[in-house]
Structure 1
Amino acid sequence: MSQVLVIESSARQQGSISRQLTAQFIARWQASHPADRVSVRDLAVEPVPHLDGNLLGGWMTPAEQQSEAEQAALALSNRLTDELLAADVLVLAAPMYNFAIPSTLKAWLDHVLRAGVTFQYTENGPQGLLSGKRAFVLTARGGIYAGGSLDHQEPYLRQALGFIGIHDVSFIHAEGLNMGGEFSEKGLAEAQAKLAQVA
């Protein structure tokens, strides 16, 4: 039995293509892996605070010297990191906002990319500690960006996940969604077909 962690980041609850893809992924995954456990963290419903002085203090200040705010920030970061550590499969649902990922997803990453926990510094440079995990990234994009210079989603997420040792990453892009007609239909259909293959 595997643990699947799904991270939703679309600001929209209704009409969200990334949420639609997530629902389809979960349904197909559970049909193929009925014993697996799936948990969902919705960053729109429960936003994660952006990196601030309290979180930095919680990481760097000895426990007996931490303020209440630092303790609370550290407790949340620990909870988010524990969820990731427990997962065998990570699913990130990421609509493209201004050529990149939602700031809520960036905030989540800032909580879980932690020295000594999900990666470590060695004589040979940083080393990820989460090897053996798989990740799927479901994106929704108004235009067509895959492989182009304006795609700051896939390169960044590959770098961030690889940094903590997650190198088995599959991207499913639903593109051209705001271009109308055959572009949006084709983009969604291609994403759904690829999703059916990988899930």
Structure 2
Amino acid sequence: MNTQATTLLHLDASARAGRSDVHAHGSHTRRLSARFVTRWRAARTHDPVHYRDLGQCPPSPVDGQWIHAAFTPEAARMPWMRQRLSESDALVDELVNADLIVAGVPMYNFGVPSGFKAYIDNIVRVGRTFGFDRARQGEPYWPLLAERPRTLVLLGSRGDFGYGPGERIAAMNHVEPAVRTAFGYIGITDVRSIAVEYDEFGGERLAASLQEAEAAVDALVDALLDKRADAASPRVATA
């Protein structure tokens, strides 16, 4: 029997504080991310979940002092530099410890919310999540979080429709591509995405999109649980 825990990092980035299945004018992404984590925890009650609300409590944006501190070697950092990087250190530590990242990230003006962009800027960090050596042959940059598998589940919402690959306005979608690029750069390449559309239309189309997204969330949870169970099952050698 497998007893190894899977550590979940649950992120919400919506500016809306409530969930659309509970509160009027609530967030669809909070609704989906909560559904995912609740379903996962129903199957694996002992798996730890760390929650961070990037919409209500966004990280501090990167500034000149942050950059100066981050690019100063650890041993040479002054106290103010360590203090300036303390929030980033906490965010990186959470990410490093996670096996499964569940992120509710709505589309705002074709991109990610400012709080989630600040999060990305704080976790894509030289010496912590990616390496850099200008003298290194071939590729001077390399990911530092590729040492073990991690999965990112990206749960989104969009006002319009047709943002998926090959659809009518796919070129205007700067959410999934940007997030995949940033997380892939640091070594997290297994990214699964589900999104609600028609938010600004409302009515039956939105209701149908929500129903479809919730079914996709349930199916994804079940698939990831099955994958985890298969990976943990002992292999029996055959002659």
> Is the contact made by 2:70 and 2:126 (CA closer than 8 Å) also made in structure 1?
no
Q: Deviations over 1:60-113 (max 9, x none)?
A: 335655363x33221111111111111111111101100010011010111111
For 2:138 and 2:102, the matched residues in 1 are separated by: 30
For 1:153 and 1:82, the matched residues in 2 are separated by: 24
How far the C-alpha of 1:118 sits from its partner, in A, is: 1.0
Residues 175-194 of structure 1: pairs in structure 2 closer than 5 A: 175-194=197-216
| DSSP 3-state at the match of 1:114 | coil
Length-normalised TM-score, structure 2: 0.78
- AA of the residue aligned to 1:4: L
> Is the contact made by 2:106 and 2:158 (CA closer than 8 Å) also made in structure 1?
yes
Match of 2:143 in 1: 128
Of the candidates 8, 11, 20, which is equivalent to residue 7 of structure 1?
Answer: 11
The structure with more strand, counted as a fraction of residues: 1
Structure 1 unaligned spans of 5+:
none
How many residues are aligned here?
A: 198
Of the structure 1 ranges 121-130 and 47-56, higher mean CA displacement relative to structure 2 is found in 121-130
Structure 2 unaligned spans of 5+:
19-25, 222-239
2:72 counterpart of 1:58:
no
For 1:34 and 1:65, the matched residues in 2 are separated by: 41
**Structure exhibiting the larger radius of gyration computed from Cα positions:** 2
> Is the contact made by 1:57 and 1:66 (CA closer than 8 Å) also made in structure 2?
no
Of the structure 1 ranges 32-41 and 58-67, higher mean CA displacement relative to structure 2 is found in 58-67
- AA of the residue aligned to 1:48: P
For 1:124 and 1:181, the matched residues in 2 are separated by: 54
- AA of the residue aligned to 1:128: P
Q: Deviations over 1:137-188 (max 9, x none)?
A: 0001111122211111111111111111111110011111211222201211
Match of 2:89 in 1: 78
Length-normalised TM-score, structure 1: 0.93
Residues 41-190 of structure 1: pairs in structure 2 closer than 5 A: 41-61=52-72, 66=78, 68=80, 70-121=81-132, 122-125=136-139, 126-131=141-146, 132-144=149-161, 145-147=163-165, 148-190=170-212
> Is the contact made by 2:69 and 2:77 (CA closer than 8 Å) also made in structure 1?
no
How far the C-alpha of 1:35 sits from its partner, in A, is: 2.1
- AA of the residue aligned to 2:154: V
For 1:183 and 1:166, the matched residues in 2 are separated by: 33
| DSSP 3-state at the match of 2:49 | strand
How far the C-alpha of 1:45 sits from its partner, in A, is: 2.8
Q: Deviations over 1:24-61 (max 9, x none)?
A: 11110101222211111111232201110121122133
- AA of the residue aligned to 2:43: S
- AA of the residue aligned to 2:98: A
With over 3 angstroms needed to count, the CA separation of the structure-2 counterparts of 1:118 and 1:65, relative to structure 1, is: closer
User: % of aligned pairs identical?
Assistant: 37
